[in-house]
Structure formats: C-alpha cells, structure tokens
C-alpha cells in the first residue's frame, strides 16, 4: 500500500508519501514560524490561511519527489485532530477533495498517534509492548502501548505541558517565539547547579506531572537579579534540568510500574538533548532502552501521520468523504486495530 499524508494541525504545513515496501518516499514541510513570531505565539486564523496557501504545493512536491501518480496511491491520510480547528479543516478538506477526485479512501489520523508511531520510521524501530513518553507543546503523557492502536494512559500533566513550560519560561527570559529550542540553545552556556528550580511532584507517588509552578519559580529567578547574559543562561539551564529530571524520573517509574523494558519518547520536546542524555542514562541503569524519532520527526510533520494512516488502512479502516476535524480527541477513544 502507498499513502499520501497531510498534516495541518498547528503551524506546520506538511505532506509525505509512505509505501509499505519502499518506506518513506518523500516528506515536505513548511514551517510558519516566521509568520507568527511577531505575535509571540500561533495566531489560529493566520495559520489556517497560510495552510490554504502552502498545502497543495507541498502535496505536489511530495508526489513529484516520490515519483508517484494519484493512481499509485491506496489512500490519503490527514490529521483530523486534536489541534486548531480552522487549521485542521484546511488539511481535512484538501484530503477529502483529493480522495473524491481520485476515488481513493481518506482516513482521519489522530495527531498524537502520529507522534507515538514516528520512531517506527527509523531503521531500528522500537518493539511492542512499550511505554511511551509523549512530550509536545500541548501534551505530556505516559502511555502504555500494547500494539499500534492500543493505548492505555498511565499519567499526564495536571496543567501545563512540558513544551508549554519550555515556551513560557523562554518568554520570561525574553527569548523570541518559539522558545523551547532557543532556551535549550542558551542553556548550553549555563553553569550546572547555578540556578536550581523545583522538580514538581517528584516527591509524590504516581505518574502525573505538573509544570505550572515552574514558570512562577522562573519569574522569581528572573526578578531576583539583573538578567545579564550568564544569569539568563544559568536560569535556562535550571529550567531544562528541572524538566528533564522530572520527565526522566516519571518515565523510569512507568517502566517499573508496567514491568516493561522499552521506552519510546516522542513529540517536540523529545528533540531536547539534555532530556535525551538523562533519559538514556536512567533507562540504561534500569536495564531498559529508549527509542526516539530522528530530530526532524520529533516536531510536527506528515511522515508520522503517514505511518499511522498506513497502519489503519492496512488494517482495513476507511473514512468516508466526510471532513473530520476535532479540536479535542482523547487518544483512548481511537478504534483498536484488529489483531
């Protein structure tokens, strides 16, 4: 089977072609970061309008790069949620229109299932069952993954997501949007231990997270002394270490709790180097192994949507021509794949 995939849930427009035997044949991406920078965050209406401009050329480019004609395709996968409703609608309507014009099945994909399955694109993919740590701008979840389509939520954040904690701390440090990667950049020059920030909920049992207190602590640290370059780097390092340590401790706890020895880490924050180093060390000490997507597939992309879409098409699932878009969509409500 060969699938064309379209992603438009937030501020990345993307298209990809994935084939059961040939693997990933093409993936194209346009990031709207510059468009939103002046506003310090994603402006939903601007995002939708830009997706309308970008998506069709990206689809054409992906098909051309993959040397694929519509007749070679078995279906079209698109992100149906969760995400910004207007942005989702642009990709969903394009996918449904192409499916109608080319008489192909269309399938609406859950964005987080895409993130969870992104490491399957690597040469050495993670085995099932495993524990997944999903850390993106909107979500921080630990999930027990028995198989593709079988997701059991072990714990999640009670307030801010890890990516949000990075972005809000970055804003307090005066860094431009999107703050996470920028904060990680300056944290490299920070002195370890110079600024110690709280590791929320580490002292409590369970697999829940809470990151909203971190930004208050960052605000106090920012106000405590003039924000010279070194001080800024020290605080950035403190933020990165607090988030990495919290995620690492809870991920290991989830491995202990489930008795599993494979951890999959995905979502935008899984691109963070300090997090990867700490997770690798802790997971190895536990006798387990961690798997990640390649860096470009940590953040939003269409290749991961293609993986999830292809798995569901192969399992016989089909969407109709209805344009599916859901701003909110619990992962646990996804239909299971037949064994």
Residue 272 touches which of Zn ion, ligand KG4, none (CB < 5 to 8 A by kind)? ligand KG4
Taking CB under 6 A as the criterion, the residue among 86, 108, 119, 137 binding ligand KG4 is 137
Residue 105 touches which of ligand KG4, Zn ion, none (CB < 5 to 8 A by kind)? none
Taking CB under 6 A as the criterion, the residue among 138, 149, 155, 293 binding ligand KG4 is 138
| Tokens describing residue 185 | 């950049």
Does 8 contact Zn ion by CB under 5 A?
A: no
Taking CB under 5 A as the criterion, the residue among 136, 266, 301, 317 binding Zn ion is 136
For the CB of residue 181, give the shortest distance to ligand KG4 in the complex, in Å.
Answer: 4
Taking CB under 6 A as the criterion, the residue among 166, 211, 297, 329 binding ligand KG4 is 166
For the CB of residue 220, give the shortest distance to Zn ion in the complex, in Å.
Answer: 30
Options 29-37, 144-152, 162-170, 251-259: segment touching ligand KG4 (CB under 6 A): 162-170
Residue 269 touches which of Zn ion, ligand KG4, none (CB < 5 to 8 A by kind)? ligand KG4
Would you say 135 or 262 has its CB closer to ligand KG4?
A: 135
Among residue numbers 239 through 278, which ones bind ligand KG4 (CB under 6 A)? 267-269, 271-272
In whole angstroms, give the CA distance from residue 232 to residue 288: 35
Residue 138 touches which of ligand KG4, Zn ion, none (CB < 5 to 8 A by kind)? ligand KG4
DSSP-derived pairing of the beta strands 12-19 and 23-31 = antiparallel
Residue 155 touches which of Zn ion, ligand KG4, none (CB < 5 to 8 A by kind)? none
Does 81 contact ligand KG4 by CB under 6 A?
A: no
Does 181 contact ligand KG4 by CB under 6 A?
A: yes
Options 52-60, 83-91, 146-154, 300-308: segment touching Zn ion (CB under 5 A): 300-308
In whole angstroms, give the CA distance from residue 51 to residue 286: 44
Does 82 contact ligand KG4 by CB under 6 A?
A: no
Contact 31, 101 (CB under 8 A): no
For the CB of residue 305, give the shortest distance to ligand KG4 in the complex, in Å.
Answer: 12
- Number of Cα atoms under 13 Å in the Cβ half of residue 82: 13
Q: How many CB atoms lie within 10 A of CB 39?
A: 10
- State how far the alpha carbon of 282 is from the alpha carbons of 208, 279, 289, in Å: 19, 5, 9
Taking CB under 5 A as the criterion, the residue among 7, 50, 167, 300 binding Zn ion is 300
Does 300 contact ligand KG4 by CB under 6 A?
A: yes
Contact 118, 45 (CB under 8 A): no
For the CB of residue 274, give the shortest distance to Zn ion in the complex, in Å.
Answer: 20
In whole angstroms, give the CA distance from residue 15 to residue 58: 6
For the CB of residue 209, give the shortest distance to ligand KG4 in the complex, in Å.
Answer: 14
Does 167 contact Zn ion by CB under 5 A?
A: no
Q: Which residues bind ligand KG4 (CB under 6 A)?
A: 10, 136-138, 163, 166-167, 178-181, 184, 267-269, 271-272, 299-300
């Amino acid at each position: 089977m060969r699938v064309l995939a379209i992603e438009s849930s937030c501020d990345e427009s993307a298209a990809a072609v994935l084939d059961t035997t040939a693997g990933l044949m093409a993936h194209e991406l346009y990031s709207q970061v510059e468009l939103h920078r002046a506003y310090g965050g994603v402006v939903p209406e601007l995002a939708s309008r830009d997706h309308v401009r970008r998506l069709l050329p990206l689809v054409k480019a992906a098909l051309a790069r993959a040397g694929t004609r519509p007749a070679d395709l078995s279906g079209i996968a698109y992100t149906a949620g969760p995400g910004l409703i207007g942005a989702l609608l642009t990709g969903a309507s394009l996918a449904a229109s192409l499916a109608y014009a080319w008489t192909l099945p269309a399938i609406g994909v859950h964005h987080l299932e895409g993130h969870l399955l992104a490491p399957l694109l690597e040469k050495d993919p993670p085995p099932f069952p495993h524990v997944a740590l999903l850390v993106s701008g909107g979500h921080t979840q630990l999930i027990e993954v028995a198989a593709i389509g079988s997701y059991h939520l072990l714990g999640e954040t009670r307030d801010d997501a890890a990516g949000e904690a990075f972005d809000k701390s970055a804003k307090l440090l005066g860094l431009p949007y999107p703050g996470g990667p920028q904060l990680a950049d300056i944290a490299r020059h920070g002195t370890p231990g110079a600024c110690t920030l709280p590791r929320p909920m580490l002292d409590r049992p369970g697999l829940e997270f809470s990151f909203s207190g971190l930004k208050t602590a960052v605000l106090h640290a920012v106000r405590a002394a003039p924000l010279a370059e070194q001080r800024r780097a020290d605080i950035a390092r403190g933020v990165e270490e607090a988030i990495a340590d919290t995620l690492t401790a809870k991920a290991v706890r989830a491995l202990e709790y489930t008795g599993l020895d494979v951890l999959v880490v995905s979502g935008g924050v899984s691109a963070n180097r300090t997090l990867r180093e700490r997770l690798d060390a802790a997971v190895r000490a536990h006798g387990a192994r961690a798997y990640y997507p390649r860096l470009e597939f940590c953040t939003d992309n269409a290749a991961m949507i293609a993986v999830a879409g292809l798995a569901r098409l192969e399992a016989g699932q089909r969407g109709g021509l209805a344009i599916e878009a859901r701003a909110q969509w619990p992962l646990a409500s996804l239909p299971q794949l037949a064994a």
